[in-house]
Amino acid sequence: MYLLLAAHQDGTAIQRISPSGKPTADARLASRGELPGVVRELEKQRPRWVWNRTQDWYPELLAHGVEVERCHDLALCGAILANSALTAHTEYARNAEKLVQDDDSALPRALQPPPPPAEQGALFEDIKGTNVGLAELRREFAAQQAAVAEVGGGERQRLQLLLAAESACGIIAAEMQFAGVPWRGELHEQILLDVLGPRPRQGHRPPALEALCNELRQILNAPSLNPDSPQDLMRALHRNGIEVKSTRKWELQQSNHPAIQPLLAYKKLSRLHTANGWAWLDAWVRGGRFHPEYVVGGVVSGRWASRGGGALQIPRNIRAAVHADPGHQLIVADASQLEPRVLVALAKDTKMAEAARDKDLYAGIAAQGFGGDRQKAKVALLGAIYGATTGESGRLMPQLARTYPRAVGFVEHAAREGEAGRTVTTRLGRSSPAPSEGWIRSQQSTTAEEQRRADNIARSRGRFTRNFVVQGSAAEWAACWLAELRRRLRALRADGLPSGELVFFLHDEVMVHAPDAAVEACVRAIQESANAAKELMFGPVPVEFPVSIAVVDSYDKAK
């Protein structure tokens, strides 16, 4: 059963629709105050909610203790369908292309995501809704369903799986934002005290940074040096004969000047202070939880991003502050060597699949083709995936290609497609962006110099497409993993058993916060979900997707 949820002048409107988007009953109106109770009652019928954006509706429902099982997120699904090669022949894609030309948008304007919130508090204000009405959303849903129906056979099934997984991820992202990552503020403050010194007054440096600043001023004979100013710092370095073009770590390390070590130490502590210092703690941690906003599909390959708070970049030196509640544990699981294993499944390389049967894929490859040298095997395989075909990777590539012609041939084909200006598509149906007009113009060379430049630009796009098809398919595997894990955790609760909650996700890693009594069941659910994700994505292929699991009380102990 599909239930369409839309804004209405009297609050909200709910209407039952067919799988093709046609209304099958009159709309039901509810005030925003009544909505949580209405949704809770309707959830007993296990509907699939159809709405423009999960983030518009679900946070408010969660705040009232209402969870939904499943949905169809029109904005997330529309972004996929508008750009997928599988639907390029459909009216939906043609209309989206026209919108791109007219409005620089791939979706109806009403379905565009809102701008980032101006401040953290905005994430938790009452949702004001949107002006998109039932009729507009019905038309959008019907158009999306019609586009999917025009895709043939197995490709249609995979595309439907992608849309369902992407929509499920919209729900999971909202739930993780609401639940928050368990965070001990006092432990965070102790870390800052130990590393930076006491909290400074506003506008002043912490003691450790101030000491390093004074040391740099003395060494560089620059009494007024401000190390936080790139221009000021570069002038001071050049005056002291340190001829660098930037202040990047790798370039600074090439000099043996006595200022380099304190400068690198300053840059490291400054990153901690600005990215995760006291101001960050005040803004983002409340009630013992860090509440970031995740952006599902925020990266072109389908990977998630985050909006504010740096959720996907929790540095190692503050992970001890990510701490389970009393009587609970953190279950941190990560899919080992996910992208290389996805490549094996995509390419159907049976010999590499044999190497992947061990938990360490690189060791298996080393034993088969690199004389047992694991590092060489790793460099060669990652070079194939990421397009690092010069240097050591380039020297090792011929051996990798001889040993695994199908796997190497798969990414090489993706690279050639990109170089030729064509798109590539992931396992389930997300396609890489078409080349820009600027890229196309760059390939219309007339001189030898222009041709060299065009070749470099083409190879750069080839490196992007060779990685896109692997990284994007890995993101799809992770989305299926998340959706299956959420389903299993909910089933435990439905059966009256103790269960954990998803609180963090990063590319190929999940974190579940679970009471002690639920740890064993949650670990089993994580492993079963990984196996289910493989079956959903690839069927019964002879490729293992092992998951490394650590049960810890704080995140820093997981790795």
* Residue from 176, 192, 178, 177 nearest 281 by CA: 192
pLDDT above 70: residue 134:
yes
Burial of residue 22, with CB atoms counted within 10 A of its CB: 0-12 exposed, 13-18 middle, 19 or more buried: exposed
End-to-end alpha-carbon separation of the chain, Å?
44
What pLDDT is attached to residue 131?
58
Q: Which residue matches tokens 């948008």?
A: 105
By the 8 A CB rule, do 547 and 512 touch? no
How many angstroms separate the CA atoms of 248 and 98, rounded?
43
By the 8 A CB rule, do 178 and 62 touch? yes
The tokens for 80 are 């996929």
The tokens for 317 are 């030196």
Average pLDDT, the chain: 91
How many angstroms separate the CA atoms of 414 and 459, rounded?
11
The tokens for 508 are 């190929």
pLDDT above 90: residue 120:
no
What pLDDT is attached to residue 179?
96
Assign 195 to helix, strand or coil.
Answer: helix
Candidates 1.10.150.20, 2.60.40.10, 3.60.70.12, 1.10.645.10; CATH matching 339-472: 1.10.150.20
What pLDDT is attached to residue 52?
95
Sort strands 328-335 and 305-307 into parallel, antiparallel or unpaired: unpaired
What pLDDT is attached to residue 100?
46
* Residue from 331, 314, 313, 294 nearest 485 by CA: 331
169: alpha, beta or left? (left if phi > 0; alpha if psi -120 to 50)? alpha
Per 3-state DSSP, what percentage of the chain is helix, strand, and coil (rounded to 5)? 55, 15, 30
Predicted structure pTM score: 0.90
| 395-420 confidence digits (pLDDT tens) | 898 899 999 999 999 999 999 999 99
pLDDT above 60: residue 112:
no
Q: For the chain, give every domain's residue range.
A: 1-179, 185-283, 339-472
Q: Which long-range contacts (CB under 8 A, 24 or more apart) does 206-209 make?
A: 206/269, 206/273, 206/277, 208/269, 209/266, 209/269, 209/270, 209/273
| 68-86 confidence digits (pLDDT tens) | 999 999 999 999 999 999 9
Q: Which amino acid is at 290?
A: F
Angle at 293 between CA 160 and CA 426, to 5 degrees: 30
Comparing 50-64, 152-166, 250-264, 383-397, the range with the smallest average pLDDT is: 383-397
What pLDDT is attached to residue 99?
54
Q: How far is CA 179 from CA 185, 287, 381, in A?
A: 16, 11, 38
Higher pLDDT, 394 or 123: 394
What pLDDT is attached to residue 183?
97
540 DSSP 8-state letter: S
Q: How confident is the model at residue 96 (pLDDT cuts 50, 70, 90)?
A: confident
2 DSSP 8-state letter: E
* Residue from 166, 135, 178 nearest 53 by CA: 166
CB-CB neighbours of 514 under 10 Å: 26
**Rg of the chain on CA atoms, in Å:** 26
By the 8 A CB rule, do 348 and 307 touch? no
